[in-house]
Structure 1
Amino acid sequence: MKSLSYEFVLKRTATILSVALLTLCAIAAVTGILLSFYYEPVAGGANQALQWIDTEIPNGQIIHGLHDYAGTLLIGVALIQMVVMFLGRQFRRSWLTGWISNILLILNAIALAWTAMILDWSQVGYWRFRIELSTIEAIPFIGSTLRDVITGGGAVNTTTVEHLYTIHSYIISGSAIMLAIVHLLGVLWQEKQQTPIASVTSAESKTNAPRELIKNS
Structure 2
Amino acid sequence: MKTEQYEFVLRRLATILAVGILTLSLIAAVTGILLAFYYEPAAGGAYDSLQAIANEVSNGWVILRVHDLAGNGLIAVSLIEIVVMFLGRQFTNSWLTAWISSILLTLTAIALGWTAMILDWTQLGYWRLSIELGTIEAIPFIGSQLRDIVTGGGAITTATVEHLYTLHSYILSVGAIAIALIHLGGLLVQERQQKQLQIKLAATNLAAESESAQAQNDPKSLSLSSAESQK
Same fold flag (TM > 0.5): yes
Q: Partners in 1 of 2:151 and 2:122 — Cα distance?
A: 17
* Residue number in structure 2 paired with 1:68: 68
| Residue aligning to 1:19 | 19
Contact 1:85 1:91 (C-alpha < 8 Å) held by counterparts: no
**Distance in structure 1 (CA, Å) of the matches to 2:102 and 2:119:** 26
Query: Corresponding residue for 1:105?
Result: 105
Residue identity matched to 2:172: I
Task: Please state if 1:194 is matched with 2:194.
Answer: yes
Contact kept, 8 Å, 1:90 with 1:99, in 2: the verdict is: no
After superposition, the CA RMSD in angstroms is 1.7
The reply on whether 1:178 has 2:178 as its aligned counterpart is: yes
4+ residue runs over 6 A deviation: none
Who is 1:2 aligned against? 2
Cα offset for 1:200?
3.0
CA distance in 2, matches of 1:77, 1:3: 25
Cα shift at 1:108: 0.4
Q: Report percent identity of matched pairs.
A: 62
Q: Distance in 1 between matches of 2:95 and 2:181?
A: 15
Over residues 158-203 of structure 1, what are the superposed CA-to-partner deviations in whole Å (9 max), with x where a residue is unaligned?
A: 0100010001100111111100011111110111111111233345
Tell me which amino acid in the other structure corresponds to 1:145. Answer: Q
Task: Return the alpha-carbon distance in structure 2 between the equivalents of residues 7 and 92 of structure 1.
Answer: 13
User: Take 1:28 and 1:14, find their aligned partners in 2: how far apart are those partners?
Assistant: 21
State which structure, 1 or 2, has the greater radius of gyration over its C-alpha atoms: 2
Number of corresponding residues: 214
DSSP 3-state at the match of 2:155: coil
Structure-1 separation of matches of 2:21 and 2:120:
25
- Which stretches in structure 2 are left out of the alignment for 5+ residues? 217-231
Q: Quickly say closer, same or farther: Cα 1:46–1:198, change in 2 above 3 A.
A: same
Q: 1:25-64 counterparts in 2 under 5 A?
A: 25-64=25-64
TM-score by length of structure 2 reads: 0.87
Q: 1:68 Cα shift?
A: 0.6
Q: What is the TM-score when the length of structure 1 is the normalising length? A: 0.93
CA contact (8 A) 2:10 2:84 kept: yes
